[in-house]
Amino acid sequence: MKIELAKSYGFCYGVKRAIKIAEEHPHSATFGPLIHNKDEINRLKKDYDVDLVENIDDALKFDTLVIRTHGITKENLKILKSQGKKVINATCPYVTTPQNIVQNMSKEGYTIVIFGDKNHPEIKGVASYSVDPERTHIVLSAKELIGLPLGTKVAVVAQTTRKPQQYQEIVAALAVRVAELRAFNTICNATFENQEAAAELAKRADVMVIIGGKHSSNTKQLYSICKSYLDECYHIENESELKPKWFKGKKLCGISAGASTPDWIIENVVKKIEEIANNEL
Ligand code: SF4
């Protein structure tokens, strides 16, 4: 049986960068998880003594804080700095961009519309950069724009992981409602690259293994995309879940992994599948 990895899989640029930054700052704490993968968070703790804190009170117990890829609110950043903490910013540059846009455009008097989930840490952070919270609106669909006091000048940005088609609908709805619209494409391509590569492989493979946290939404999405092309798809967190019967009589095993799956977990899975394939021979 041949084993083939999708052309694009696993960690995105922002996560790789954040992990490297955390490794370069041992004995610190990350403000919020750098990635949704408990094995990787445990590894950072074990090998580099990098802790994880989820709120400002716990963050203040550490001297050095590494800011997660999704960013934090402007207020929390200010508190950390005012308390003399060493702040290492690992916010993904694709997240810093909408933060800066929201700050600059709100200063210029534009009403801000943010397409995203108001409970997501990235969106809480982006929205906090507006100088006018009263004129900052977070929506999940074009329908939610109805009745909002938008004024005549609007600037719109999107959460990095949102679907482009839904963003287009929001931009189109705004374009006919306001006199001046500034629409910024702040969607990140990393997730789509992994999805397209996994779909391409699922069309050719006769069994697919998708590796990633059971709660990782982008891994679940990869799994459901592959499943739409191939019935024999399996979502696992690590090699201990592999079952030899999945590979019996198969010619091509495709592998993909969610954006928060570290390379060492993927390597362990590939090694175990190779062992299973060799035993069958
Ligand atoms: S998915 Fe995109 S925006 Fe999010 S951390 Fe990765 S590169 Fe940055």
Q: Which atom of ligand 1 is nearest to the CA of 18?
A: 5
Per-residue pLDDT tens over the stretch 163-216:
899 999 999 999 999 999 999 999 998 888 999 999 999 999 999 999 998 877
Span from the CA of 240 to the centroid of ligand 1 (angstroms): 28
Q: Is the dihedral of CA 113, 114, 118, 124 positive or negative?
A: negative
**Amino acid 281: pLDDT:** 63
| CATH class entry, domain 14-91 | alpha beta
Pairwise CA distance, residues 51 & 31, whole Å:
9
Q: Is the dihedral of CA 100, 101, 102, 104 positive or negative?
A: positive
Pairwise CA distance, residues 252 & 4, whole Å:
7
**Domain 2-8+190-280 is of which CATH architecture?**
3-Layer(aba) Sandwich (3.40)
Please indicate whether the domains covering 2-8+190-280 and 94-183 agree at the CATH topology level: yes
Pairwise CA distance, residues 258 & 267, whole Å:
14
Per-residue pLDDT tens over the stretch 93-144:
999 999 999 999 999 999 999 999 999 999 999 999 999 999 999 999 999 9
Residue closest by Cα to atom 7 of ligand 1: 14
Pairwise CA distance, residues 158 & 95, whole Å:
10
CB 193 within 8 A of CB 170: no
Pairwise CA distance, residues 181 & 174, whole Å:
7
For the residues 11-35, what does the mean pLDDT come to? 93
Q: Quick check: 217 pLDDT over 90?
A: no
pTM of the model: 0.83
Hey, where are the domains in the chain? 2-8+190-280, 14-91, 94-183
Q: Mark whether 200 is an active-site residue.
A: no
Span from the CA of 147 to the centroid of ligand 1 (angstroms): 32
Q: Which CATH number is 94-183 given? A: 3.40.1010.20
Q: Which atom of ligand 1 is nearest to the CA of 95?
A: 3
Span from the CA of 186 to the centroid of ligand 1 (angstroms): 11
Mutate-to-test residue for ligand 1 from 8, 9, 15, highest number of ligand atoms within 8 A of CB:
15
Tell me which residue has tokens 């694709």: 94
